[in-house]
Amino acid sequence: MNADAAVMEHFPKTLNVEESAAFLARLQDQFQEYGYCYYAVEIRETGEWIGFIGLAYQAYKTAFTPAVDIGWRLVPGSWGQGYATEGARRCLEHAFTVLNLDRVIATCTLSNKPSERVMQKLGMNCLGHLNHPKLKGYPEYERCLCYGIEQAEWWDL
C-alpha cells in the first residue's frame, strides 16, 4: 500500500519495503508507549485487509501540538465506501471514552479534499493552517490544514 502512488498522492514519496517496515516498527513502539497506534483495518465480511486507521501521538512543533492525531490510509478499492469515516468514528469513541483524551486533531495537505471531508463528517472543526515541520523541503506538501474535536463536542454529536 505504501508503495502505491495513488495511495501516497498526498505524501512526498512512496515507501519501499524497508521504509514500510520502519513505519510499522514505529507503530509498535507507539502502541507499547501509549496504548494506541494506527490499527490494521479489514472488511468484516471478507477479512480483506484494506489499510489502517487509528491514533498517534504527535510531538512535532506547531501551534496544535503536542496532540493525539487521528489518521487513515486505505487501499484504492476501499475508497468512497465510508470505511475511513466509520473506522475513524470508532477510534474517536475509543479516544474519548476509554483513553479519556481531551482533544484529537487531524492534519492533511491542502489538496487532500477526501481526507478533509472525512474530518468534517466526524464533526471536527478547522483549527487553521500550518507548515508541517516533517514536510520541510517539500513545498507542495508542507502547507497543511489542522482539524480538531474536543471530548465535550464529541458527546454533543
Query: Which three cell numbers mark 56?
Result: 498517534
- What angle, rounded to 10 degrees, do the helices at 113-121 and 83-97 form? 50
Q: Which CATH superfamily is domain 17-156 in?
A: Gcn5-related N-acetyltransferase (GNAT) (3.40.630.30)
Helices (DSSP H) in the chain: which residue ranges? Answer: 17-34, 83-97, 113-121, 139-142, 151-156
> What pLDDT score does 9 carry?
93
Query: Which three cell numbers mark 113?
Result: 479534499
Residues 6+ away with beta carbon under 8 Å from 93: 154
Model's pTM, two decimal places? 0.92
> What pLDDT score does 156 carry?
76
> What pLDDT score does 157 carry?
64
- Tens of pLDDT along the chain (157 residues) come to 999 999 999 999 999 999 999 999 999 999 999 999 999 999 999 999 999 999 999 999 999 999 999 999 999 999 999 999 999 999 999 999 999 999 999 999 999 999 999 999 999 999 999 999 999 999 999 999 999 999 999 877 6
